[in-house]
Amino acid sequence: MSAAGTSKLSLHCNHCGRQVGETVHTRSSYAVDYYVLHTGAVEPMTIQRADEPYGRITVLKLIEPRTVVTCADCYRQPTIQEERDLLFRPELSSADEPEAATDAR
């Protein structure tokens, strides 16, 4: 029947470049070797609702899907955690955040 099985894609850490392995399970615990973050650039898009002639909704369209792989070693580094945080929530990279303005002085 089918000849070649699906060969596993080898993943590499986006930060240090080392190859990462599968999560290893032992009887009592497991060792995670890498973390994957799915992110990407999004773009707001207004679409016409089908059920309402004047109804419009705005959705975020993923225009540039991106997968970030972080190995367990890099994951422990604060700078890399910060980097991942920014990738996950791009709006935080712009310094001013009007919503969360705290001017209690």
Minimum Å distance from CB 15 to Zn ion?
Answer: 4
Minimum Å distance from CB 7 to Zn ion?
Answer: 23
The residue among 23, 31, 21, 37 whose CA lies nearest residue 70 is: 37
Distance between CA atoms of residues 105 and 48, nearest Å: 45
Cβ-based nearer residue to Zn ion, 19 or 48 = 19
Interface with Zn ion, residue 13, by CB under 5 A: yes
Q: Using CB under 5 A, which of 7, 8, 15, 21 touches Zn ion? A: 15
Interface with Zn ion, residue 80, by CB under 5 A: no
Minimum Å distance from CB 61 to Zn ion?
Answer: 31
Burial 1-39 (b: 16+ CB within 10 A, else e): eeeeeeeeeebebbbeeeebeeeeeeeeeeeebbeeeeb
Q: Using CB under 5 A, which of 53, 68, 71, 92 touches Zn ion? A: 71
Q: Is 61 exposed, middle or buried (0-12, 13-18, 19+ CB in 10 A)?
A: exposed
Minimum Å distance from CB 13 to Zn ion?
Answer: 3
- Interacting residues toward Zn ion by CB under 5 A: 13, 15-16, 71, 74
